[in-house]
Amino acid sequence: MVSVRVPLATIVDPQQQQRLQLSPLKGLSLADKENTPPRLSGTRVLASNTARRISQEPAGPKTKVDLSKDIQHWESLKPEERYFISHVLAFFAASDGIVNENLVERFSQEVQITEARCFYDFQFAMENIHSEMYSLLTDTYIKDSKEREFLFNAIETMPCVKKKADWALHWTGDKEGTYGERVVAFAAVEGILFSGSFASIFWLKKRGLMPGLAFSNELTSRDEGLHCDFACLMFKHLVHKPSEQRVKEIIINAVRIEQEFLTEALPVKLIGMNCTLMKQYIEFVADRLMLELGFGKVFRVENPFDFMENISLEGKTNFEKRVGEYQRMGMMSSPTENSFTLDADF
């Protein structure tokens, strides 16, 4: 058996390659012609680009998201718009914790490929940054301490958030599901269960509202797109994949949950969006995910939101982009108050 910490590029013996195991529990193999030297596998390329992006950005200019204008806009929003935004932030904050729980408890322990585990480590760090951002946004917008506590405990206090969280937690704790099924499920978490919420905040951006929230949403959505891309890449390398029918079941289930969340439990009509078009958009995103996984479309619908073209799942090179331009539009020139920064000393 090959050492579990051996990098893919050092494996030159074909017999060793065949014995390379992804999960000791399920006997899943990543043995693939893409892994043979001197060609770099997609896994290594994606992991190394992610590492480069994360390592370079903190060393550059201070990273800030200016929220000063958001405070003014927040006060001018309708009560139902504030309600919607606060509940979406509550979902985001809760979901990042669940994603990290899955990374720690399942994927990082099951996956024995060095480059993949490296990527999961970076993903964990990125999710923590997202959580810090959501906490700051909530603290900035919500002044009542009891309301903040309610939002920070969304899984226990909000049935609409709990239903989505329970679906993701099921896949974290599922001892019967294969790695292939669970990697599809968490691709759906990051690619589908976040999609409508991301779109709703970009809708606010289109209306010229909440620029700090919109910019942080841009950064986060690109990160989640990267995580979803990597899940699809891992799936493509699997020898023993779940059937197309099983994958469709998982994806359709995620679609129904997200549609219910944004058209019934927390309807986007609260911020002036069309619920029917939101349903269609979620189906469009699901179709893109099915294609990325190597299967055919399920819903066969068009993207109804032109403003979402740049962050849909069809982008395949998220890891090559610097996530946003932190110095554009004077975002670096404001005082540090009411801003999010990653250069704190510890």
Q: Are 290 and 248 in contact (CB under 8 A)?
A: yes
What is the mean pLDDT of the segment spanning 20-29? 38
The token duo for 244 is 């197309």
Q: What is the pTM of this model?
A: 0.76
Query: Is 134 among the residues known to form the active site?
Result: yes
Tokens 């001018």, located at residue: 76
**Phi–psi pair at 13, nearest 5 degrees:** -80, 120
pLDDT in tens, 127-185: 999 999 999 999 999 999 999 999 999 999 999 999 999 999 999 998 899 999 999 99
pLDDT confidence of 93, banded at 50, 70, 90?
Answer: confident
Residue 82 is predicted with a pLDDT of 95
Torsion sign, CA atoms 127, 96, 220, 340: negative
* Residue of 42, 234, 53 lying closest to 129 (CA atoms): 53
pLDDT confidence of 17, banded at 50, 70, 90?
Answer: very low
Q: Is 204's pLDDT higher than 60? A: yes
Cite the DSSP H helix spans in the chain: 14-19, 42-56, 68-76, 79-102, 108-110, 114-141, 145-152, 154-157, 159-173, 179-191, 195-206, 211-237, 244-260, 275-292
- The interaxial angle of helices 114-141 and 42-56, nearest 10 deg, is 40
Q: Which domains does the chain have, with CATH numbers?
A: 66-314 (1.10.620.20)
**What is d(CA 266, CA 22) in angstroms, rounded to the nearest whole number?**
39
pLDDT in tens, 266-302: 999 999 999 999 999 999 999 999 999 999 999 999 9
The token duo for 275 is 């619920």
Residue 50 is predicted with a pLDDT of 56
**What is d(CA 251, CA 298) in angstroms, rounded to the nearest whole number?**
9
From the list 120, 134, 281, 326, the catalytic residue is 134
**What is d(CA 312, CA 306) in angstroms, rounded to the nearest whole number?**
10
Q: Is 38's pLDDT higher than 90? A: no
CA triple 213-214-217, angle to 5 deg: 85
Residue 308 is predicted with a pLDDT of 87
Q: Are 68 and 40 in contact (CB under 8 A)?
A: no
What is the mean pLDDT of the segment spanning 247-276? 96
**What is d(CA 290, CA 285) in angstroms, rounded to the nearest whole number?**
9
**What is d(CA 170, CA 161) in angstroms, rounded to the nearest whole number?**
14
